[in-house]
């Protein structure tokens, strides 16, 4: 290794350990001295570069990260909260809009009968006067009433037809019980003449200013009760 290359390599890195460099260094005591001087100089540089680190920097770095993490978590929390709130809001809005939408009376009547099992098991005997007073309190048709007992009435209660207060009666037919819904007329209601599911059949008609919905297992019962109601209900 010539002198120039040796000096250059020493300047590039006096600490180097590769065989070529070590061998070149061993060639003369001057070279060894030269490298030693440079090493000492490097130590000086290192000491000079080694400035004091501010006390507490380490703690600051850790704290900084913790605060950052905390903020991120809070931001995430806020986001989730906003999401939940908006979902609840949309649910609320759509639910109230749903209630304003058209109501299929037939379908609702079937569902109501299927769910309210208590009504079918009731064995009371309710007089038409009681029913009339219930009808009167429905508001919309103060004049509507039964003129005489329309057969045996097992059950009579108010019920909710998608937000409309109605009357729910269970009456005795020839072959089984017949459910009658008396629903005040409202614009958004859709009345079907006939409806059915696997078990029940139903019929709807308008009487005075109310929708009458009859639901029974046998069609003949519906016809009978329908006749009876048309005679007794004004």
User: What is the nearest approach in angstroms of another protein to the Cβ of residue 63?
Assistant: 10
Distance CA 89, CA 82 (A): 10
CB-nearer residue toward another protein: 84 or 111: 84
CB-nearer residue toward another protein: 68 or 199: 68
Which residue pairs from 6-14 have beta carbons closer than 8 angstroms and sit at least 24 positions apart in sequence? 6/31, 7/34, 10/34, 10/35, 10/38, 11/38, 14/38, 14/39, 14/41, 14/42
CB-nearer residue toward another protein: 8 or 99: 8
Residue 112 token pair: 């109501």
User: Which of these ranges, 8-16, 103-111, 172-180, 202-210, lies near another protein under the rule CB under 8 A?
Assistant: 8-16
User: What is the nearest approach in angstroms of another protein to the Cβ of residue 48?
Assistant: 4
Q: At what angle do helices 3-12 and 29-49 cross, to 10 degrees?
A: 20
CA distances from 64 to 56, 61, 135, 196 (A): 12, 5, 72, 69
Cα 53–Cα 57–Cα 58 angle in degrees, nearest 5: 110
User: What is the nearest approach in angstroms of another protein to the Cβ of residue 51?
Assistant: 6
23 binding another protein? (CB under 8 A): no
Distance CA 170, CA 118 (A): 11
| Residues within window 41-100 making contact with another protein, judged by CB under 8 A | 41-42, 44-51, 53-54, 57-58, 60-62, 64-65, 68-69, 80, 83-84, 87
CB-nearer residue toward another protein: 80 or 129: 80
User: What is the nearest approach in angstroms of another protein to the Cβ of residue 45?
Assistant: 6
Tell which residue, 31, 30, 28, has the closest CA to residue 6.
31
User: What is the nearest approach in angstroms of another protein to the Cβ of residue 26?
Assistant: 22
Where do contacts with another protein occur on this chain (CB under 8 A)? 8, 11-13, 38, 41-42, 44-51, 53-54, 57-58, 60-62, 64-65, 68-69, 80, 83-84, 87
């Amino acid at each position: 290794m010539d002198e120039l290359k040796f000096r250059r390599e020493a300047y590039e890195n006096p600490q180097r350990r590769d065989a070529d460099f070590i061998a070149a260094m061993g060639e003369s005591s001057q070279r060894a001295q030269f490298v030693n001087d440079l090493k000492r100089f490097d130590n000086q540089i290192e000491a000079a570069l080694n400035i004091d680190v501010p006390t507490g920097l380490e703690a600051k770095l850790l704290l900084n990260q913790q605060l950052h993490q905390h903020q991120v978590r809070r931001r995430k929390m806020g986001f989730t909260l906003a999401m939940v709130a908006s979902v609840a809001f949309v649910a609320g809005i759509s639910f109230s809009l749903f209630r304003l939408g058209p109501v299929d009376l037939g379908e609702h009547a079937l569902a109501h009968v299927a769910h309210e099992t208590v009504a079918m098991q009731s064995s009371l005997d309710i007089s038409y006067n009681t029913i009339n007073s219930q009808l009167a309190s429905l508001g919309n048709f103060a004049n509507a009433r039964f003129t005489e007992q329309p057969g045996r009435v097992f059950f009579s209660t108010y019920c909710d037809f998608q937000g409309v207060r109605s009357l729910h009666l269970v009456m005795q037919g020839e072959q089984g019980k017949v459910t009658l819904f008396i629903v005040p007329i409202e614009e958004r209601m859709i009345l079907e003449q006939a409806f059915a599911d696997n078990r029940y059949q139903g019929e709807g008609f308008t009487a005075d200013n109310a929708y009458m919905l009859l639901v029974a297992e046998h069609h003949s019962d519906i016809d009978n009760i329908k006749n009876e109601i048309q005679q007794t209900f004004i």
